[in-house]
Structure 1
Amino acid sequence: MTADSEGNGLSAGDDGPPRGADLARRALEEARARAAAQGKSVGKGMASPQRRQQRKPSRRRWSGPAADPRDPQPLGALAASLARRRGWNRHVAEGRVLGCWDEVVGAEIADHAAPTSLSDGILHVTAESTAWATQLRMVQAQILSKIARAVGDGVVTKLEIRGPSAPSWRHGARHVSGRGPRDTYG
């Protein structure tokens, strides 16, 4: 390559200005020449044979037929390990009691009673009738053992079983104290 009178690096046979690839090639050659003049090693990039020998031997990129932590994991197992690492096990167990009530206690009990809240190990359950509330109080120990088997010991320590709430005859801010509407029934 020869420089013309303006010093733009055109060769004698070129018709126009240098293209991008030619400019990049020339800039790279100049940078290598400056680095060599300063005593720096030139051409020792990642692909050079010297760099390949310095690198650690790479691990194989496939996991093979045996189980490996790099294999795809079920979402439930990943969520359980995340909850365990972050200390959320108790909260997850409490959520399981409330969210999966029919699986935890069985379909028959779940059809007639529903959990309303769980705080400090006390599970509040509302039955659909007073008869069912009485029945659930009688089998309270069995219900607690079912819950312990499903979610672990200590999550629920006590059951508070209530019957349905009675209708309120007290409507509005102003009312007359007394027996209410019952005193007019005969």
Structure 2
Amino acid sequence: MSEDRPARPSDIARAALEAARAASAARPAPTRRRVAGPRRRWTGPRPGDDDPQPLGRLVDSLVSTQDWSEQTRVGAVFGRWSAIVGADIASHCRPETLTEGELLVVAESTAWATQLRLLAPTILAKLRASVGGDVVTRLRVVGPTAPSWKKGPRSVRGRGPRDTYG
């Protein structure tokens, strides 16, 4: 090339490329850093243990590792009562306590208490199918309780307030 002629843009670009190649060749080659731990392998079409998990699966594993299965089944009796026995029955009664396998159910009237006593085998079968067989073994149904006329620390035996009415 001649010195008196101005440099063309392609010559400038070529010179810059050659300078970059020379600088790259002079630099040492980069080394790959090794990540601590075992090498990750492909797990296949199913999710692996280190992949994000659904919340339900995580809660189930927590319940099993902490041995909370019995408490969650007892809580399911109270929490899913209307889904287990049906909305119609659940609107007229509610579970009160569960002690040693006996579920106390309080009905809103004596008629519903009688009906629930007749339906007790069916309700027990639904509870066994939904929650498990050993959680609820007996069903005790009571009607509404009458108000107590006993007030205060002292009381007198007898007919109560009925003897004062005309």
Equivalent residue number for residue 119 of structure 2 = 139
Matches within 5 A, 1:28-177: 58-60=39-41, 65-177=45-157
Deviation at 1:48, TM superposition (A): 7.1
Cα displacement (A) at 1:63: 5.8
* TM-score with structure 1 setting the length: 0.65
Instruction: Say what the alpha-carbon RMSD is for the aligned residues.
Output: 2.5
Cα deviation for residue 128 of structure 1 reads 0.6
Read off the aligned partner of 2:91 and give its amino acid letter: D
Unaligned runs of 5+ residues in structure 2 are 1-29
- Greater relative contact order: 1 or 2 (C-alpha under 8 angstroms, separation 6 or more)? 2
Q: Would you say the 8 A contact 1:93–1:152 is kept in 2?
A: yes
Any idea what the Cα deviations from partners look like across 1:17-74, whole Å, max 9, x if unmatched? xxxxxxxxxxxxxxxxxxxxxxxxxxxxxx978x96xx886214x7664322223222
Secondary structure of the corresponding residue to residue 171 of structure 1: coil
Q: Which residue of 2 aligns with 1:14?
A: none
Percent of aligned positions that are identical = 52
Q: Which residue of 2 is the match for residue 23 of structure 1?
A: none
Quick one: which amino acid aligns to residue 120 of structure 2?
Answer: Q
Q: CA deviation at 1:175?
A: 2.5
Q: Check conservation: 1:97, 1:147, Cα contact below 8 A.
A: yes
- Partner deviation per Cα, 1:110-133 (whole Å, 9 max, x = no partner): 101111111111111111111111
Q: Which runs of 5+ in 1 are unaligned?
A: 1-46
The 1:48–1:110 alpha-carbon spacing in structure 2 relative to 1, beyond 3 Å, is same
